[in-house]
Amino acid sequence: MRFRSAALTVIVFAVAMAFMESAVVIYLQRALAITPDQLFPLRGPEVVGNLTSIEVGREAATLLMLVAVGFLAGRRWVDRLAWTAVAFGVWDIGYYVWLWVFVGWPPSPGTWDVLFLIPLPWTGPVWAPMAVSAALIGFGLRAAHLTAAGRPPRVGRAVCGAGLGGGAIVVLSFLANAQAILEGGLPGWYPWPVFWLGMATALSAAVVAMRSGAGNSPKTAA
């Protein structure tokens, strides 16, 4: 029951937060008289003024909120991290779902988007962050369930290093076009082989961690 109630709470929160996030983005675009298909090239300070710094602050606040709900839902560091991953994944996918419901954007998974601005612009086709989010939801729920059952995943140095390394490779794929974007250009080719290399590395680490938890007895894990 603890797992189910926590899952319901985190998912409902993330869906509601995604609704709010997509609404804010629509309001901002309407205020700037642009449409979602006019994201590139990014508007400079002469057009948006101090909105860029406000947007960066909003993104940081969003991440803090997702981490906070993960910590509130979990009791140990493993399930707190797991619930944070679930919250992030549901929020990210929900954001695009709500945008599509509101304004019909993105028209396809291959549509390019500005994902984050911290510390540089992250860009990529919509399918890429949604693939990351789907993995976060799946493995996050699995890790939280194992922890609730008294069999928390074991995350050793090798597994942790592989997970962080894979995540870093994925982030590098999102930053591949950052320089061109900052110079007022358009995003070019997305380095999907780099993305899938990072995903494969991180997912392999997650699978190893999940198997280590599933193989533990509740008595041993306690």
Domain ranges in the chain are 2-221
pLDDT on residue 122: 94
Tokens for 21, please give them.
């996030």
CB atoms within 10 A of CB 38: 11
pLDDT on residue 11: 97
Q: Could you give the angle at the alpha carbon of 171 between the alpha carbons of 214 and 185, nearest 5°?
A: 155
CB atoms within 10 A of CB 117: 18
Q: How far apart are CA 163 and CA 155, in angstroms?
A: 10
pLDDT on residue 218: 60
Indicate if the pLDDT at residue 50 is higher than 80: no
Banded model confidence at residue 154, pLDDT cuts 50, 70, 90: confident
- 3-class DSSP assignment, residue 112: strand
pLDDT on residue 214: 62
Q: Could you give the angle at the alpha carbon of 53 between the alpha carbons of 52 and 59, nearest 5°?
A: 90
Indicate if the pLDDT at residue 165 is higher than 70: yes
Residues 6+ apart with CB under 8 A from 27: none
Question: Taking the model in full, what pTM does it have?
Answer: 0.90
Q: How far apart are CA 184 and CA 45, in angstroms?
A: 12
